Amino acid sequence: MGGVYTLGLQTLTRVTFLSDKLAEASAHGRFQPFHNGHLEYVLAAKERCDFLWIGITKYETTPTGLSPLGLPRDHPQNNPLTYFERIQIIAAALEENGVPRSQFGFVPFPIETPENLHLFLPISVTCFTTVCEQWNEKKIEVLEAAGYQVEVLWRREPKTVSGSVIRKMILEGDPRWQEMVPKATAQAVESLNLAEKLKGLHDSHHP
């Protein structure tokens, strides 16, 4: 199964899958916040398995000196949501989209310290990913070096939605971010007063 598909002005290259539908597999991300691009990815991964483990990268949102990868992603202003807040949002978004809660679960996913990944997700669990930027290619290298089988769902550049853009819009009071996220995320952004939290994080790191 493979081919090239056109979505609007974008070209989506589907990669031939290495396996049939799996009993369990995984998807992963920082999800700061969980947006429509993340939802598309996680739903596509779920279609490929009976049970999906959703790995939360940067699960500890404080700065760390142990991360050799993606250092800007470590900055507190880029990680306003806690591990618990993110899994609550993602669970609600998936249930909104018809995925039963019994068919997915969550694990910390320390891609920042790949030698620890096996402590949270067995190496036998296939990792689904997508490629939308150079960082994704680096993660594939890291996962394969750690012993995981990686299957790319699609390659698509540039990104259709960006967490950094959404955070900037929320910080600046631009309401268009609401069109870029699932209903569950929009509700959480309001209930958690994320705009104020982002402002505090931004001000503390930009005196």
Q: Report yes or no on 13 lying in a domain.
A: no
Domains: count for the chain: 1
pLDDT value at position 181? 98
Q: Report yes or no on 140 lying in a domain.
A: yes
pLDDT tens over the chain, length 207 residues = 343 333 333 334 444 455 589 999 999 999 999 999 999 999 999 999 999 999 999 998 876 544 555 566 778 889 999 999 999 999 999 999 999 999 999 999 999 899 999 999 999 999 999 998 888 999 999 999 999 999 999 998 787 789 999 999 999 999 999 999 999 999 999 999 999 999 998 877 655
pLDDT value at position 133? 86
Q: Report yes or no on 12 lying in a domain.
A: no
Q: Report yes or no on 11 lying in a domain.
A: no
Supply the range of the domain harboring residue 135: 19-205
Q: Report yes or no on 5 lying in a domain.
A: no
Instruction: Write a three-state SS string for the chain.
Output: CCEEEEECCEEEEECCCCCCCEEEEEEEECCCCCCHHHHHHHHHHHHCEEEEEEEECCCCCCCCCCCCCCHHHHCHHHCCCCHHHHHHHHHHHHHHCCCCHHHEEEEECCCCCHHHHHHCCCCCCEEEEEECCHHHHHHHHHHHHCCCCEEEEEECCCCCCCHHHHHHHHHHCCHHHHHHCCHHHHHHHHHCCHHHHHHHHHHHHCC
Q: Which CATH number is 27's domain given? A: 3.40.50.620
Q: Report yes or no on 48 lying in a domain.
A: yes
